[in-house]
A and B are shown apart, each in its own frame.
Chain A
C-alpha cells in the first residue's frame, strides 16, 4: 500500500489568526497520494481551520501552499482553485441544500453538468456513486434532501464528494464523516476510502473515533493548540499513546485548587439533573459553593444539559427541593445569544437585574448607572464610558460584560456555556480570579468548557459523551488523560470510578 506515494500538496508554515486568537500556528504538512492521512485532536486544536484552508474557504494569514501539479498558488487561492486542483471536502456540518433533490445537489458541485438532459446525467452520476460506495443504499435521486434522514444526507454528501465529471479528484477531505452513520455503512465508507487511495488518490480523515483512525489511516497527525505535535505512521500509534499525544504535557497541579470536601460537608444540593437518555441513574449534581465542570468533546450534550438545568430551574426528579433558585446563564456564542448589539455596555450589564432596579414599576436611572459603574470597576471592562455601544469593546471585554450581567443579578447559580471561546489569556485569568471570589461568597457555578486547562478550576467534573454522563470525577482525580479517555473511549464504564453520591 505504500508503493506509489508522491507528494501532492505541501503546506509550508501556514498560519491563521482570527483577531487576537491564533487558530493555526505555522503548520508544515505534506499530503501524499496513495495514503489515508488521519488527523486527530481535541476541540479547538485547529483541525477544521486546517481543512478549511485546504478547501479554499478560508485564506491563511501566512504561509505557503504548494501543489505538485501547479506552482505555489498562494495568494488568491480560493474554492475554485481548490476544485481545479482536485480537492473535495465533506464538511462536518452538512452542506447540502435541503430544498433541492439529491440529483440537483450533485449538479451544484459540478458546473459542467448543464444543457439538455442535465438532470438525467446528474441523477445517473449520483446514483451510480451511491451504489458504488453504499450498495443497497435505498436513496431516490429525486428525493428532496430535506426529506432524508441525517444518515442518508451524510451518505449523499460523501458520495457527491467522490463523483467525478470533468475536474480531477486528487484529495478527498472527510471531516467526521461517520458521525451519523451506523457501523455497517461506516465500514462501507472506510473500505471505499481505502480503495480510493489504493488507486492513487489521497484522503484526509478526521474522526473522534480513534479505532476508525487507527484502522483506516496509513499515517496519523496529532494536532494540539493549533499546531502539529505528532506526525507518524499509523502503525506507530496505539490508542493509548494517541490519547497521550492529544493532551498537553503533564501539568503541575494548580496550587489554588481547593481540596473540595463540600460533598461530604452536607451542603445543599442546588442542581440535580438526569440528562435525557441517561439510563444508569447518573445525575449531574451541584452543591452550594461548588464549581462543577462539564467536559467532553464539543456538542455532546453539555449545552443541552445546561439549558435543561436552566429551564427546570435546578432540581428535577423526586426527593429534591422544589423551590427554585435564581440562575443566570453566560452564553458562549456572544453574537448569537449574548449581547444586545444595539445597546450600550451599561444596558447590556443591567438587563439581568431589572427587578432590583425598579422603583414603583419604573427603572431607577441612578441605581442603574451605579450598578453599571460598579461592575465596570469590579470586572475591569476596558472602556472610557459604559454608555458606549457594546460592540465598541473587544471580544474578551464583551464577554466580561456578559459575566458582569450574570454576576450583577441575584442569581445563586451561574451557568456558563463555554464562555471563554476566543478570549485572550489575560482576560481569562481575570475571569478565573473572579469566579473563585464569587464561589467564596457562596455562589455556585456550572461550567461547560472545551478547554482542558479550565477543568483545573473545577471541584467536580462530569464528562459527557453522546448526551450522557460517562465519567464523574472529583476535583482531585481530574487529569487530562482521564477526561480524554472518557471522551473518546467506548469501554468508559471502568473509568467512571466515582459514582454520584445521590441515586
Chain B
C-alpha cells in the first residue's frame, strides 16, 4: 500500500528519534552552552551504560519476558569490575563469563519450568545484590585503567558516546532485525507455537536471548565503572526501571516480539537527557522522577494516537 501520507508504522518508528530531538532542542534552548563538544559529552556521559542495560532488557522482552534483576546485575558486574577485574584480570573475566552463562541458565529454567520471568528475575535481583555486597561491602574499588581509558577517549567531532551508541545500535539491529536467525528469535516473541511447529527449539532461542541480555548487562556494568572509576553495590539499581522505560520509549512492546534496537538506544538517550533537561528547568530533584514519568506518558500517548489513526 503506497500512499503519499507517511504510514503509521513509519511514524511510529520515527517517534523515538523525534522525542530525542525535541528534548535536545529544548535543552539547547534553555542552555545554549550545552551545544558544544564538552557540553554534549557531559550530557550524554551516562547514556552508554544505560543504553547497554536497555539493550539487555530488550533481549529479554523480545521473548515475552521481563528482567527485574538487570539493575542489580549491572551493580554486581560493576563491583566485580572494580575489584577482581582490576587485581586479577583472568579471574575477573572468568567471573563475568560465568555471569553470562548464569543468564543463559536462567532463560532455560524459566522456559523449562514454565515460571513467570518476573518472579525469577526479581528473586535473582536480591541474589546479585547480595553477591555484590560480598565482593565489595563498602563503596570503593578501582576501575581497570584500560576501561577508564576507553570510556574517557576523546573522539574527533562528536563525543565518543555517540559513536559507540550508534555502532552498538547498528550491530544489534543487524543481528536481530536483519539476520535470518534473528528473525526466528523475534518469532519466538510473536508466536512461539508457530516457531516450535516449524521445528525450531524455543529453549535454544530463549537461552540465546538471555545470554545476550547477560552479555549486554556485563557491558553496561563495565562501561559504568569506566565513568565512575569506582563501584558500589547499589550503583545501578535504578537501571531496572530505566531499561524497561527505554525499551518502551524506543517503540518496543511488552509482548509480541515487537522491538527496535535502534529505538531502544534512542530511548535510553532520551531518558538520560530527560534528567538534565529537568535540572535545567530547575525542577527540584524530588519531582524529577515524576516528571520523567510524565515524559514517558506523553510519548506513549503519542504512540497511541498514531496507532489510532492507523486503525481507521
Measured CB to CB, the residues of A under 8 A from B are 55, 57, 79-80, 83, 89, 91, 95-100, 104-105, 107-109, 111, 113-115, 118-119, 140, 143-144, 147
Contacts and interface: CB of A to CB of B under 8 A. Distances in A.
B181 A104 contact: no
A137 B1 CA distance: 13
Contacts of B178: 119
B306 to A, nearest CB: 14
Given A99-B189, A114-B180, A115-B180, A108 B195 contact: yes
A144 B186 CA distance: 13
B184 interface: yes
Contacts of A80: 199
Contact of A95 (B181, B191, B256): B191
B258 interface: yes
B191 A97 contact: yes
Contact of B183 (A96, A108, A143): A108
- In the A-B complex, the 4 residue pairs with the closest CB atoms: A97-B190, A95-B194, A99-B190, A114-B180
A91 B189 contact: no
Nearest to A93: B193
Contacts of A115: 180
A100 B197 contact: no
Contacts of B183: 100, 104, 107-108
Interface in B187-225: 187, 189-191, 193-200
Contacts of A57: 196-197
B186 to A, nearest CB: 6
5 contacts: A57-B197, A80-B199, A97-B194, A100-B186, A115-B180
B257 interface: yes
Contacts, number: 68
Interface residues on B, range: 20 to 34
Contacts of A91: 197
Interface of B: 1, 9, 178, 180-181, 183-184, 186-187, 189-191, 193-200, 256-258
Contacts of B184: 107-108
Nearest to A79: B199
A147 B183 CA distance: 17
B280 to A, nearest CB: 38
Nearest to A157: B194
Contacts of A119: 178, 180
B197 A98 contact: no
B256 A114 contact: no
Contacts of A83: 198-199
Contacts of A111: 199-200
A242 B114 CA distance: 44
Given A108-B187, A115-B180, A140 B1 contact: yes
Nearest to B255: A99
Given A96-B191, A99-B187, A107-B184, 8 more contacts: A80-B199, A95-B193, A97-B187, A97-B190, A98-B191, A100-B187, A108-B187, A108-B195
A108 B181 contact: no
B137 to A, nearest CB: 39
A91 B197 CA distance: 10
Contacts of B189: 99
Given A79-B196, A83-B199, A96-B194, A118 B257 contact: no
A98 B198 contact: no
A79 B180 contact: no
A100 B191 CA distance: 10
Contacts of A140: 1
Contact of B180 (A95, A107, A109): A107
A97 B195 contact: yes
A105 B184 CA distance: 9
Contacts of A147: 9
Contacts of B200: 108, 111
Nearest to A57: B197
A89 B197 contact: yes
A103 to B, nearest CB: 9
B290 to A, nearest CB: 33
B186 A95 contact: no
Contact of A118 (B1, B180, B196, B199): B180
A73 to B, nearest CB: 15
Contacts of B191: 95-98
A115 B179 CA distance: 8
A174 B198 CA distance: 16
A95 B197 contact: yes
A67 B198 CA distance: 20
B256 A99 contact: yes
Contacts of B190: 97-100
A104 B191 CA distance: 13
Contact of A104 (B9, B187, B193, B258): B187
Contacts of A113: 180
Contacts of A118: 180
B181 A114 contact: yes
Nearest to A84: B199
A57 B191 CA distance: 15
A107 B199 CA distance: 12
A236 B191 CA distance: 41
A83 B197 CA distance: 10
Nearest to B187: A97
Nearest to A105: B187
Contacts of A104: 183, 186-187
Nearest to A144: B9
B194 A55 contact: no
B198 A79 contact: yes
A108 B198 contact: yes
B136 to A, nearest CB: 39
A147 to B, nearest CB: 8
A131 to B, nearest CB: 18
Contact of A108 (B1, B194, B256): B194
A315 B187 CA distance: 45
Contacts of B195: 97, 108
A81 B54 CA distance: 39
B82 to A, nearest CB: 39
A51 B193 CA distance: 16
Nearest to B194: A95
A109 B199 CA distance: 8
Nearest to B182: A104
A340 B240 CA distance: 31
Contacts of B187: 97, 99-100, 104-105, 108
Q: Which among A83, A95, A100 has the greatest number of chain B C-beta atoms within 10 A? A: A100
A97 B184 CA distance: 10
A119 B195 CA distance: 18
A143 B1 CA distance: 9
